[in-house]
Structure 1
Amino acid sequence: MQSTPSYLWSTEDLLGQGATASVYKARNKKSGELVAVKVFNNASYLRPQEVQMREFEMLRKLNHKNIVKLFAVEETGSSKQKVLVMEYCSSGSLLNVLEEPANAFGLAESEFLIVLQCVVAGMNHLRENGVVHRDIKPGNIMRLVGEDGRSIYKLTDFGAARELEDDEKFVSVYGTEEYLHPDVYERAVLRKPQQKAFGVTVDLWSIGVTFYHAATGSLPFVPFGGPRRNKEIMYKITTEKPPGAIAGIQRQENGSIEWSYELPITCRLSAGLKDQLIPILANILEVDQEKCWGFDQFFAGTNDILHRIVVDVFSLQQASSHRIYIHSYNTTTMFLDAVFKQTNIVPHHQEYFFEGHLYELDPNLQARHFCRTTESSPLTLLSTSEQPEDVVGVQYRDPALDFPKLVPRVDVVADCSAAKSAVGAAHQTLRVGQALRRGRELLARGLHWVIGNLRTECSRILEQRRGAHSVLACLQLTEGRTHVLCEAVPAGGRAPAGLDVLRTRLRRVDEELSQCSRSIFDFQGALDGILAELAKDGQQVHEDKSIQQIECCLEKMQVIYKQFKRARTCLRLGYNEEQIHKLDKLNLGSLARRVLSIFQNGCVQQYQEALALHSSRMRKVCEIKKHLKRLSNRISSCSVEMMECQDCLQGALDRLLQTENWDLAAAPPAPSPVPLSQARQEMVLGMQELLEQMRSVTCDLQLNNSIIERLGGAAPTPSV
Structure 2
Amino acid sequence: MTASTASYLWSLHDVLGQGATASVYKARNKRSGELVAVKVFNILSYSRPHDVQMREFEMLRKLNHSNIVRLFAVEELPSRQKVLVMEFCSGGSLLNLLEDPENAYGLPETEFLTVLQCIVQGMNHLREYGVVHRDIKPGNIIRQVGEDGKSVYKLTDFGAARELDDDEKFVSIYGTEEYLHPDMYERAVLRKPHQKSYGVSVDLWSIGVTLYHAATGSLPFTPYEGPRKNKPTMYKITTEKPMGAIAGIQRVESGPIEWSYHLPHSCQLSQGLRVLLVPVLAGIMEADQDRCWAFDQFFKATTDLLQRQPVHLFSLQQAMAHCVYVHHYNTVTMFFEEVASQTGIGLQHQHLMYLGHELPLEGSMKVVNLPSTSVSQPLILLSYAPEPNTSLPVREPETPVIPSKFEVVADYSFSKTIVGVVHQYLRIVQLLHTHRELLLQGYYGYMMKLRSDCREAMHSITVITIRLRSCFNAQHKIHKLASYASENQGSFDNSQKLQQLHEILPVYTAGIQEFLNRLDHLQIEQSKLAETLASDKSCQKMEMLLQKIMAIHQHYRKDRLTGKLAYNDEQIHKFEKIHLSSHIKRVKSLFREESMQRYKELVASTRTWSSVMLEMHTRLLDFSSSSTGLLADLEMNEQHQMKAMDRMLYSLQTNRTVQPGLAPRDKDQMVSRMHHLRDEMELLVRELQCNNSIIESLGAVNSAADLGPARPSTL
Q: Which TM class, normalised by the smaller chain length? A: over 0.9
Distance 2:311 2:486 in 1: 77
Q: Which residue is 1:455 aligned to? A: 451
Mapping for residues 208-227 of structure 1, pairs under 5 Å = 208-227=208-227
Q: Which moved more, 1:433-442 or 1:280-289?
A: 433-442
2:173, 2:184 within 8 Å by CA — same for their partners in 1?
Answer: yes
* Pairwise CA distance, 1:486: 4.1
For residue 649 of structure 1, report the CA deviation from its aligned partner: 3.8
1:326 pairs with 2:326: yes
Q: 3-state DSSP class of the match of 2:609?
A: helix
**Residue 326 of structure 1, CA deviation:** 0.7
Q: Kindly tell me: are residues 412 and 309 of structure 1, through their superposed partners in 2, closer, same or farther at Cα, counting changes over 3 Å?
A: same
Aligned partner (choices 403, 406, 409) of residue 402 of structure 2? 406
Q: Which range is displaced more, 457-466 or 231-240?
A: 457-466
Find the partner of 2:511 among 503, 511, 519.
519
Amino acid at match of 1:123: M
Check if 1:620 corresponds to 2:631.
no
Counterpart for residue 74 of structure 2 = 73
The equivalent of 2:439 in structure 1 is 443
Q: Distance in 2 between matches of 1:612 and 1:43?
A: 67
1:553 aligns with 2:545: yes
CA distance in structure 1 between the partners assigned to 2:210 and 2:486 by the alignment: 102
Q: Deviations along 1:64-96, whole A, 9 cap, x unmatched? A: 11111111111112x221111111112210000
Mapped partners of 2:172, 2:429: distance in 1 = 50
Could you list the runs of 5+ residues in structure 1 that have no partner in the other structure? 715-719
Name the SS of the counterpart of 1:603 in structure 2. Answer: helix
**Cross-structure match for 1:717:** none
- Distance (whole Å) between structure 2 residues aligned to residue 263 and residue 576 of structure 1: 46
Q: For 1:475, which of 471, 474, 480 is the aligned residue? A: 471
* 1:531 correspondence with 2:523: yes
Relative distance call for 1:598 and 1:280 in structure 2 (3 A) is same
- C-alpha separation in 1, matches of 2:501 and 2:682: 23
- The residue aligned with 1:15 is 16
Aligned to 1:587: 579
Amino acid at match of 2:676: L
How far apart are 1:52 and its partner, in Å?
A: 1.1
Displacement of 1:701: 4.1
Shift of 1:34: 1.5
Deviation of residue 630 (structure 1)? 2.0
Determine the C-alpha separation between the residues in 2 that align with 1:86 and 1:654.
98
Map residues 696-707 of structure 1 onto 2, 5 A cutoff: 696-698=687-689, 700-701=691-692, 704=695
1:8–1:29: 8 Å Cα contact kept in structure 2? yes
Residue type of the partner of 1:54? Answer: R
Q: Contact 1:639–1:705 (CA<8 Å) still a contact in 2?
A: no
Taking structure 1 as the reference length, the TM-score comes to 0.94
CA distance in 2, matches of 1:577, 1:211: 42
> Which AA in structure 1 matches 2:564?
R
Pairwise CA RMSD: 2.5
| Residue ranges of structure 2 left out of the alignment (5+ in a row) | 706-714
State the 1:643 CA deviation: 3.0
Map residues 613-652 of structure 1 onto 2, 5 A cutoff. Answer: 613-650=605-642
* Aligned equivalent of 2:394, options 393, 396, 400: 396
Which residue pairs with 2:555 in the alignment? 563
Partner of 2:174 in structure 1? 174
Q: Partner residue of 2:596?
A: 604
Q: Does 1:686 align with 2:686?
A: no
Separation (CA, whole Å) in 2 of partners of 1:655 and 1:128: 90
Aligned to 2:570: 578
Correspondent of 1:662 among 652, 659, 684: 652
Match of 2:709 in 1: none
Distance in 2 (CA, whole Å) between partners of 1:613 and 1:57 is 67
In the alignment, does 2:36 pair up with 1:35? yes
What is residue 418 of structure 1 aligned with on the other side?
A: 414
Paired with 2:48 and 2:264, the residues of 1 have a C-alpha distance of: 42
Alpha-carbon spacing, 1:246–1:663, altered in 2? closer, same or farther (3 Å):
same
1:627-649 per-residue CA deviation (whole Å, 9 max, x = no partner) reads: 11222333333323323433454
1:695, CA displacement in angstroms?
4.5
Determine the C-alpha separation between the residues in 2 that align with 1:158 and 1:648. 91
Residue identity opposite 2:24 in structure 1: V
Distance 1:466 1:292 in 2: 70
> Shift of residue 292 of structure 1?
0.7
Moved more, 625-634 or 266-275: 625-634
For residue 52 of structure 2, what is the aligned residue in structure 1?
A: 51
Structure 1 letter corresponding to 2:192: K
Determine if contact 2:243/2:282 at 8 Å carries over to the other structure: yes
2:138 equivalent to 1:138: yes
TM-score, normalised via structure 2 length: 0.94
Contact persistence 2:467–2:692 (CA under 8 A)? yes
Equivalent position SS for 1:617:
helix
Q: Is the 8 A contact 1:646 1:698 kept in 2?
A: no
* Residue identity in the other structure for 1:474: S
Amino acid at match of 1:448: Y
- Note if contact 1:70-1:87 (Cα within 8 Å) is conserved in structure 2: yes
Aligned to 2:708: none
User: Given that residues 70 and 86 in structure 2 are in contact (C-alpha distance below 8 angstroms), is that contact kept between their aligned partners in structure 1?
Assistant: yes
Aligned to 2:712: none
Shift of 1:548: 0.8
Contact kept, 8 Å, 1:319 with 1:391, in 2: the verdict is no
Name the count of aligned residue pairs.
Answer: 705
Structure-1 separation of matches of 2:593 and 2:360: 40
One-letter amino acid of the counterpart of residue 210, structure 1: T
**Structure 1 SS opposite 2:562:** coil
- The CA distance in 1 between the partners of 2:645 and 2:362, in whole Å, is 50
CA contact (8 A) 2:620 2:703 kept: no
Alignment of 1:242 with 2:242, yes or no, is yes
Partner of 2:120: 120
**Helix, strand or coil for the counterpart of 1:123?**
helix
Is the aligned partner of 1:262 residue 2:254? Answer: no
Distance 1:148 1:5, change over 3 A: same
Q: Secondary structure at the match of 1:353?
A: strand
Match of 1:663, SS state, is: helix
Q: Kindly state the Cα deviation for residue 670 of structure 1 after the two structures are TM-superposed.
A: 9.0
Per the alignment, in what secondary structure is the counterpart of residue 494 of structure 2?
helix
Between the aligned partners of 2:227 and 2:98, the Cα distance in structure 1 is: 18
Q: How many angstroms does 1:152 deviate by?
A: 1.1
Q: Matched residues in 2 for 1:431 and 1:490: separation?
A: 84
Q: 1:490 to 1:96 in 2, by over 3 A?
A: closer
Aligned counterparts of 2:30 and 2:533: Cα–Cα separation in 1: 58
> How many angstroms does 1:234 deviate by?
0.4
The answer as to whether partners of 2:454 and 2:704 remain within 8 angstroms in 1 is: no
CA contact (8 A) 2:60 2:158 kept: yes
What residue identity is the alignment partner of 1:432?
Answer: I
Which region of structure 1 is more displaced relative to structure 2, 589-598 or 131-140? Answer: 589-598
Seen in structure 2, the aligned counterparts of structure 1 residues 484 and 10 have a Cα distance that, compared at 3 Å, is: same
Contact 1:320 1:393 (C-alpha < 8 Å) held by counterparts: no
CA deviations 1:492-521 (Å, max 9, x no partner) are 9xx94567x522111111112111111111
Change over 3 Å in CA distance of 1:60–1:682 after alignment to 2: same
Contact 2:652 2:674 in 1 (8 A): no
Q: For 2:10 and 2:4, how far apart are their aligned partners in 1?
A: 6
SS at match of 2:508: helix
Paired residue type of 2:418: A
The one-letter amino acid paired with 2:695 is N
Q: For 2:258, what is the secondary structure of its paired residue? A: strand
Contact kept? 1:502, 1:648, Cα under 8 Å: no
User: Residue 351 of structure 2 aligns to which amino acid in structure 1?
Assistant: E
Residue identity matched to 2:426: L
Q: 2: CA distance between counterparts of 1:361 and 1:656?
A: 51
Q: What secondary structure is seen at the aligned counterpart in 2 of 1:63? A: coil
1:394 Cα deviation after fit:
4.4
- State the Cα distance separating 1:170 from its structure 2 match: 0.2
Paired with 1:119 and 1:132, the residues of 2 have a C-alpha distance of: 13
Q: 2:649 touches 2:681 (CA, 8 Å); kept in 1?
A: no
CA distance in 2, matches of 1:131, 1:643: 80
